Amino acid sequence: MEYQGLTPDDLANVRALNRAWLRLTGRDTRLAAAPFLLFSLSEDDAELWGRLLGDGGQRELFSERPAGPDELYALHAAALGLLWELARRNPYVARIVGGAPLDWCQRIAAETLVRVLDCAGHRALIKPRFPAEAAVYRKVSAHMAALQSMLTIGIDQGAARLPAAACRMTGSARRVADKV
C-alpha cells in the first residue's frame, strides 16, 4: 500500500504552528523546522477525547475557552483545524505530525470541524510535547545551527575544485556514463 507523505503545504503549516508555539514559550524559533508539532493537543488521551466528543456529552457550564492569552487560544484552534483536516485527508500524516493514534484520527475525522472546535475549544488541551529540559531541543537546535553554518559559510575552496577534477577523468568514467 502506498502512502502519501507530507506535502509542502502541510510542512509549511506545521512550521508556522511550531514558530507560534516557540514564540509563546520563549524558545528559539529555529526549532520550528521540525517536521512534527512541538506541542501536543492531548491526542494520546483517549479517555479525555471520548468525553469531549462523546454523544450526549455536556459542556462545562461556565468554561468557554482555555485560559491564557488570545495567541494561545488561536494556536490551539489552528492546530486542531490542521490535525482535523489531515486526519480526514491523510491520517498517516496526522499521526506523524501530531503523534496521534489512529483511532484518534478516525474519531475526529468522523466529526465536522465545527463540532471538534466546539467540543475541544473550551478545554486547555495544548501542552509541550517534550519536557523543557528534553534533549530534543538541544539536538534539533544543534542540527539547525550546523545547517545554518554550512549554508552561510560557503564552500571550501578545495571542495570547489572537485567538480573540475571529475571532468578531467578519462577512461572508466566515460565507459560508465555511456552505459547509463
pTM of the complete model: 0.71
Per-domain residue ranges for the chain? 8-129
The set of cell numbers assigned to 63 is 468554561
39 φ, ψ (degrees, to nearest 5): -130, 165
Model confidence band, residue 91 (pLDDT cutoffs 50, 70, 90): very high
The predicted-structure confidence for 147-172, as pLDDT tens digits, reads as follows: 666 666 655 555 555 555 555 556 55
Q: In a 3-state reduction of DSSP, which class is residue 27?
A: coil
Cα(176)–Cα(164) distance, integer angstroms: 18
Question: Are 41 and 152 spatial neighbours (Cβ–Cβ below 8 Å)?
Answer: no
